[in-house]
Amino acid sequence: MVTQTIGLLLDQALLSIDGGAIQLLRNLIQAVVKLILLAVFALTLVTWGSLSIFASWLLANVVSLVVTAVVLVHRYRVPVRRLIPVPRVLHGLHIDAARHHALNTALLVPYFSMPIIANAILGSEITAYFYAIALARVTGDVGRESTAGVGAQCRRTDRCGARGQ
């Protein structure tokens, strides 16, 4: 989501420049608007389905970004003409931008490709067990005893490769 990316970038900039007060305000506005919209959209869930959840996130992000922009413009007395982007500022940065994009891509490809590779090698059922247990362990919901069942299931079906785990 573009609005989520803009919000994350704005949060990092606000933390480094102005501390956490405006960031807290933005996140509070986003949370309250999202909850209100979820309650409103819950009534239309039959019509919109699960799309209403994503719509509430999007609209809450937009509202929080607009309110934050208004607060920042008012606080720092920035004229509106200064808010318009100037393309010549980016002149000569294309190589640095390409390097940055290449590094981000190199860091994210293994993360996003691992589920596809695991599914191709292990099969859908074993991959689902693996990711369910991995997610539960990250959140602290299960201990080591629950992961033993995945290994046993893997050995029973002989879908884990030649070694069987």
Question: Domain spans of the chain?
Answer: 2-88, 112-165
Mean pLDDT for 119-135 is 82
According to DSSP, residue 158 is labeled T
Residue 23: count of CB within 10 angstroms of its CB? 18
Instruction: Specify whether the CB–CB gap between 154 and 123 falls below 8 A.
Output: no
**Encoding tokens for residue 98?**
């390409």
Indicate the pTM of the whole model.
Answer: 0.56
Taken in order 88, 93, 98, 103, is the CA torsion positive or negative? Answer: negative
pLDDT of residue 91: 87
Q: Which of 57, 62, 55, 68 is nearest to 26 (CA)?
A: 68
According to DSSP, residue 41 is labeled H
Integer Cα distance of 58 and 43 in angstroms: 18
pLDDT tens-digit map of 39-57: 888 887 667 777 788 888 8
